[in-house]
Structure 1
Amino acid sequence: VTFSWQGTPFPITTTANLFYPAESQQNYFGISNEDIGKAVKASQNEADPDKRLELANEMDKQFWAEKVMIPFYATPTVHGVSEDVVNLGAAQFETTDWTIVG
C-alpha cells in the first residue's frame, strides 16, 4: 500500500494526527505513546514560534524512535503549462481544483 501527504504551513498540527491518539482516523499505524501525546499537546498549545519549533523537533525524535514508517521518497508536484492557462499554480499547500483550470 502506498500513500502520501502534501506538506502544509502547519506541520505540527497535521503530522500529530498520524501518531496520536490511537483513535485518530489518520493514525494508520495504530500507535499510542503517551510521551508523544504530551509532546503533541504541548506543541499545539505553545504560542512562541521558537519554543514550538523546539517541541516539534523533540516530537520528531520520538516519532522516529517508534520506527513506525519508512519514507521511501518525496514526490514534488511539477506542471509545465502555457502562459495562457489560468488558475493553476504551486500546489504544495493545496489541492488543484481542476474544475477552474483553463
Structure 2
Amino acid sequence: MRVMVRAKEVCYSSHAINRLFKFHVPADCALKRRRDASKSLTMEQREALKSQLSIPGSEWVKHAKKGLPRWFKTERLFDIPRIWAEFWVHNVEPCSNT
C-alpha cells in the first residue's frame, strides 16, 4: 500500500515496515505454539502454576467443555502477575496480528 505523505510516496506494506524496523517475522506464531502446549498441562502442573501466580484459596472459574480447568480470575492474582495480565489482555492480545 502506497500513500502520499508530504509530497512523497511512502509504502506501508508489512514487508516495507518490517524491513525499515529490521523486524524478523517468524514462520509460526510463538503465542499459538505456547497456547497449544498449555492445553497438555496436567492438573498437577496447572495447580502448581496457579499457586505461584495467585493468592491461596483461588479457585478455577471456567472449565473446559471436557477435560481440565483452564482459567482463574485475574483479581485473585498476586500484584505483579495481575499487572502483567491486565496489560496483556487490554493491550497485546487485542492487537495480535500473527
- Flag whether TM exceeds 0.5 (same fold): no
Q: Which has the higher contact order (CA 8 A, sep 6+)?
A: 1
Q: Which TM bucket (shorter chain)?
A: under 0.3
Q: By percentage of residues, which structure has more helix? A: 2
Q: Which TM-score applies when normalising by structure 2?
A: 0.26
Q: Which TM-score applies when normalising by structure 1?
A: 0.25
Which structure has the larger Rg over C-alpha atoms?
2
Q: By percentage of residues, which structure has more strand? A: 2
